[in-house]
Amino acid sequence: MLIVMKMNADADTVGAVVEKIESRGLKAHPIPGAQRTAIGITGNLGVVEPGLFETLPGVLEVIQVSHPYKLVSREFRPDDTVVDVGGVRIGGTDLVIIAGPCSVESYEQMRRIAQRVKEAGAHLLRGGAYKPRTSPYSFQGLGREGLEILARVREETGLPVVTEALDIDVLDEVAEVADMVQIGARNMQNFSLLKRAGRCGKPVLLKRGPSATVTELLLAAEYILDQGNDRVVLCERGIRTFADHTRNTLDVSAIPAVQRISHLPILADPSHAAGMANKVLPLSRAAVAVGANGLMVEVHDRPTEALSDANQAITPDQFETLVGVVRSLAPVVGRRLAGLSAARR
Ligand code: PEP
Ligand code: MN
């Protein structure tokens, strides 16, 4: 349920409505807007009687939200959410590009790749220190050492870093270093991890599960917002279909579908969708064309030596081409590639 306050409702009037909501054992989420304040209500297991609130001073209307998601919906917040990640703004009209290797392999590797993607125009650096691998015998990531490498390379390049928290055990450690904490596709419905991510104090990049519907993705994000963290960026990274010409199928239609329902930004990850380097550029074009808020791309300067996802890694040169294409394509859909802040130039 959503309570829309009258334009002239002052802080005390809003506070009185919040008190009334909380006195019923419900949670109130005031959402100040340019024109008026709205107050979202969650925690109601059944139907809440609108009459309870309609007659309170300052209340304009009470809207029943029929969808299972609430805080992530545009009914709760009509304007696009812009998430600030170490000074890089994701959401709104500017496109943002996250680039880097699948895994942090060594300081030298990260430094070389970070330098190249920065020169090519990347806004954020990625690299997994804790890796979700299908096989227990595959490279599992450098762990804490990987986080230290990321922190050092951020210091040297000025690029904010995005890295995955694989489980609750490492979440705090990851959140301490990361500018944005990634929740991977396989963990999209790890509800205890989502709740903790909602309290971690950092922006969260939530990747869509390989068999998750858009509703399930939004409900997973709802867990994070419900814990008080509204700095959530979604990511479409391909879903599992019968197609076997790519690793996954990039569900480009999910991007406008999410944007219609939700105020949260959504990126596309063409690398994990394609699973092969030669499809990363065309899928990036498609993602920009449907209106994604940005891209996350895996880049490695020695792809054949990559310790994970070698087949889908594009080279720094190919990445440079990709950035150029995104820059020229963006205006066609009313966007532009975000600039670099003075600190990172
Ligand atoms: C990744 O981004 O490194 C990753 C493992 O992606 P996903 O969770 O989408 O498979
Ligand atoms: Mn990967």
Query: Ramachandran region of residue 141, left (φ > 0), alpha (ψ -120 to 50) or beta?
Result: left
Residues 150, 12: one domain?
A: no
Residues 49, 174: one domain?
A: no
Residues 203, 324: one domain?
A: yes
CA of 200 to the centre of ligand 2 (A): 23
Nearest-10 crossing angle of helices 316-329, 107-120: 30
CA of 312 to the centre of ligand 1 (A): 12
pLDDT given at position 35:
87
Sorted by sequence, the CB contacts under 8 Å of residue 23 that are 6+ apart come out as none
For the CA of 131, the nearest atom of ligand 1 = 5
Flag whether 333 is in a domain: yes
Residues 49, 90: one domain?
A: no
CA of 23 to the centre of ligand 2 (A): 47
CATH number at residue 42: 3.30.70.1140
Number of structural domains found in the chain: 2
Please state, as a whole number, how many other Cβ atoms lie within 10 Å of the Cβ of residue 278: 11
CATH number at residue 311: 3.20.20.70
Name all residues whose Cβ lies below 6 A of ligand 1: 102, 128, 132, 164, 184-186, 207, 237, 272
Q: What is the DSSP letter of 22?
A: H
Q: Rounded distance, CA 264 to CA 233, Å?
A: 6
Residues 59, 91: one domain?
A: no
Domain final residue, candidates 63, 91, 115: 63
- Which listed ligand is nearest to 186 at the C-alpha? 1
Flag whether 242 is in a domain: yes
Flag whether 146 is in a domain: yes
For the CA of 269, the nearest atom of ligand 1 = 9
* Encoded amino acid at 149, one letter: I
Q: pLDDT tens digits, the chain, 345 residues: what are they?
A: 899 999 999 999 999 999 999 999 999 999 988 889 999 998 866 667 888 899 999 999 998 877 888 899 998 899 999 999 999 999 989 999 999 999 999 999 999 999 999 999 999 999 999 999 999 999 999 999 999 999 999 999 999 999 999 999 999 999 999 999 999 999 999 999 999 999 999 999 999 999 999 999 999 999 999 999 999 999 999 999 999 999 999 999 999 999 999 999 999 999 999 999 999 999 999 999 999 999 999 999 999 999 999 999 999 999 999 999 999 999 999 999 998 654 455
Q: Ligand 1 pocket test: which of 180, 208, 237, 249 has the largest number of ligand atoms within 8 Å of its C-beta?
A: 237
Flag whether 275 is in a domain: yes
pLDDT given at position 342:
46
Expressed in angstroms, the distance from the first to the final Cα of the chain is: 45
Flag whether 194 is in a domain: yes
Residues 200, 329: one domain?
A: yes
CA of 329 to the centre of ligand 1 (A): 26
Residues 59, 196: one domain?
A: no
Q: Ligand 1 pocket test: which of 164, 183, 188, 298 has the largest number of ligand atoms within 8 Å of its C-beta?
A: 164
Q: Rounded distance, CA 75 to CA 87, Å?
A: 28
Flag whether 71 is in a domain: no
pLDDT given at position 50:
81
- Which listed ligand is nearest to 208 at the C-alpha? 1
Q: Which domain holds residue 101?
A: 83-344
- Which listed ligand is nearest to 269 at the C-alpha? 1
Residues 180, 51: one domain?
A: no
